[in-house]
Amino acid sequence: MKNIPQKVIHQYLRHRKKFPHVWCPGCGNGIILGDLLRAIYNLGIEKDNIAMVSGIGCSSRMPVYVDFNTLHTTHGRAIAFATGIKLSKPEMNVIVITGDGDAAAIGGNHLIHAARRNIDLTIIIINNNIYGMTGGQCSPTTPLGRYASTAPYGALEPTFDLCELARSAGASFVARTTAYHTTEAREIFEKAILKKGCSIVDVISQCPISYGKLNNFGSAVEMLKWQRDNTIPVEAASKLPPEKIKGKIIRGIICDIDKPEFTEEYNKLITRLADELNISNNKSVNKKVTGKANSRN
């Protein structure tokens, strides 16, 4: 691992154009952005070889602040746009930044089919359990009984386990981490970017202004402590009895398997069809030439 300079992330930011940012005080988005940029620095990826795509939401502002090829798209459609980029430029590292509402609600269909196809995208879901930008509504990951502006008496709907959803849908790399566990997050981002196939990372983040206030979590610091105290590494969880992990969130690498990647299979199909067409055309030309020769004889 490289010895990361303290201000390494500055070289990746559009700090002269797009700052100050719009994120609320105590938001986890800045921490996660820093972890991601340090991962990119460690991997030595050139800025021009990265495309970062987002939809709409607090976390989806992230591509606005970075000096990569960026696309800030419509709500829930980031993965669809990213799929188009990857198919047209398979050599690029395509990173999707999305939120729990953006990815699992209106964008849920795109999420599961990106995993099913196993297309080579790195999808980072910043999961703060709420729609933070638009008024604090329930999202698909708002825990049962927790409060939101659309659930003043507590959420009634069961939540998505985003990692289980991604693994079941067919993603080749699935992991979970938190804004508190910054070193772990950076290491997971590095592995997710390097993985050939669909990589989905669920990052638990704090939203002290909407979710935190509505649910009496206290300050951003208290919410970070909650992440520390209520998550268990997957290796440790595998050795504990069920009663010890009840109510805890499992973090770490949930799934890491090798399987065919969509863009590679797609390009193989194109090559095969082109070869078949070329053979067919050659046969047709040879038949015409042979026919003319026979007519002269």
- For 256, other C-beta atoms within 10 Å of its C-beta total 15
For residues 132 and 48, state if they share a domain.
yes
For residues 88 and 193, state if they share a domain.
yes
Tell me, yes or no, whether 78 lies in a domain.
yes
Tell me, yes or no, whether 2 lies in a domain.
no
Whole domain around residue 287: which residue ranges?
A: 261-297
For residues 159 and 100, state if they share a domain.
yes
Number of domains within the chain: 2
CATH number at residue 147: 3.40.50.970
Tell me, yes or no, whether 124 lies in a domain.
yes
For residues 74 and 127, state if they share a domain.
yes
For residues 154 and 289, state if they share a domain.
no
For residues 157 and 289, state if they share a domain.
no
Q: Which two tokens stand for residue 119?
A: 């297309």
pTM, rounded to two decimals: 0.90
Tell me, yes or no, whether 28 lies in a domain.
yes
Q: Which of 128, 70, 97, 91 is nearest to 201 (CA)?
A: 97
Residue 90 and residue 266: Cα distance in Å, rounded? 10
For residues 247 and 280, state if they share a domain.
no
pLDDT of amino acid 133: 85
For residues 110 and 32, state if they share a domain.
yes
**What is the greatest pairwise CA distance in the chain?**
96
For residues 93 and 127, state if they share a domain.
yes
Tell me, yes or no, whether 1 lies in a domain.
no
Q: Which of 185, 197, 165 is nearest to 251 (CA)?
A: 185
For residues 281 and 164, state if they share a domain.
no
Q: Which of 184, 273, 257, 194 is nearest to 227 (CA)?
A: 184
- For 209, other C-beta atoms within 10 Å of its C-beta total 18
Tell me, yes or no, whether 3 lies in a domain.
no
Tell me, yes or no, whether 16 lies in a domain.
yes
Contact 138, 154 (CB under 8 A): no
pLDDT, tens digit (0-9, with 9 covering 90-100), for 34-45: 999 999 999 999
For residues 241 and 222, state if they share a domain.
yes
For residues 216 and 290, state if they share a domain.
no
Sites in the chain below the pLDDT cut of 50:
289
Distances in whole angstroms, Cα of residue 137 to Cα of each of 32, 150, 202, 211: 22, 5, 20, 9
pLDDT of amino acid 84: 96
Tell me, yes or no, whether 48 lies in a domain.
yes
